[in-house]
Amino acid sequence: MFGSVLVPLDGTSFSERSLPLAEMVGKVAGTRLHLVSVDGGGAEKEGYLTGIADRLRAGGADVEHAVLEGKVVDALAGHAQKVAADLVIMATHGRSGLDRLRLGSVAEGLVTRGVAPMLLFHPGPDSSSEAPAAIERVVVALDHSSFAQSILEPLESLGRAAGVSSYTIVHAAESKGAAGRAGWTPVAAVQARANERMGPIRERLGADGAEVDLQVVIAAEPSDGILGVAQAANADLIAMTTHGMTGLRPTMLGSVASQVLRGWNGLLLLRRPEE
């Protein structure tokens, strides 16, 4: 379970859209929420966080709060390490500056540093939607690598906290050529291998009684396959890992994760594990 959860807030109503998620997770026994804001506001910012903390405590959550100093990403990453955060919950516009493919400067910085798994709420282009009141249907993007499957540990903790009732594992295989050409793999072979390799994972996710489905999709862009399955399943959340690369690398936060967030109006559980 999540013992320590970091919730960055900046005083805006947009950032506060993460609070219903924090409240849901914070009701689990043994979980402590750490509300934080960086720089500016002085006593006003302290009062702002105190008011939110008191409201969450009234609902049964264990809450601490702090106003931090310094550069935003540095301060948040440092505090996440200080409180040994198991999860970061925040809202994101899904962009940074003029680059709309990025996750947003703060979320991008935290994901890149791999400080903790992140539960991100992306409300969509007009920023008008609200975070779902419950997380019942989850799509988790997996392949056969231990890297991708490292999302399972935080996903299981979130699933127990939220009472997830169904998981859809999506194995999105990239189409590399037409039938008969080099690099082409028959869909039936991909499906058979996925059924075999994902069996233990299906049992793991279904241990608490949740329904678990497996879908294999072949697509030129894996992100399209993931989004298609999530939309068809009316999912509340997509869960996946990312390589979290930045700088001049064209993948930014990993092309698949970035494209999924850009096309997804809702919740994304994202983790950058160690390589």
Instruction: Give the tens place of pLDDT for each residue, 216-263.
Output: 888 888 899 999 999 999 999 999 998 755 443 333 445 788 788 878
Residue 270 Rama label (left phi>0; alpha psi -120 to 50; beta): beta
DSSP structural state of residue 17: G
Determine if the pTM surpasses 0.95: no
| DSSP codes, 114-158 | T-S-EEEEE--TTS-----S---EEEEE--SSHHHHTTHHHHHHH
Least confident of 139-143, 187-191, 260-264: 187-191
The residues, ordered by sequence, that sit 6+ positions from 266 with a Cβ below 8 Å of its Cβ are 121, 122, 129, 132, 235, 236, 237, 238
Give the CATH architecture of domain 4-91: 3-Layer(aba) Sandwich (3.40)
Give the CATH architecture of domain 137-271: 3-Layer(aba) Sandwich (3.40)
Could you tell me the residue ranges of all domains in the chain?
4-91, 137-271
Instruction: Give the tens place of pLDDT for each residue, 33-49.
Output: 999 999 766 788 899 99
Contact 146, 140 (CB under 8 A): no
**Given the structure tokens 């990239």, which residue do they identify?**
174
Calculate the average pLDDT of the chain. Answer: 84
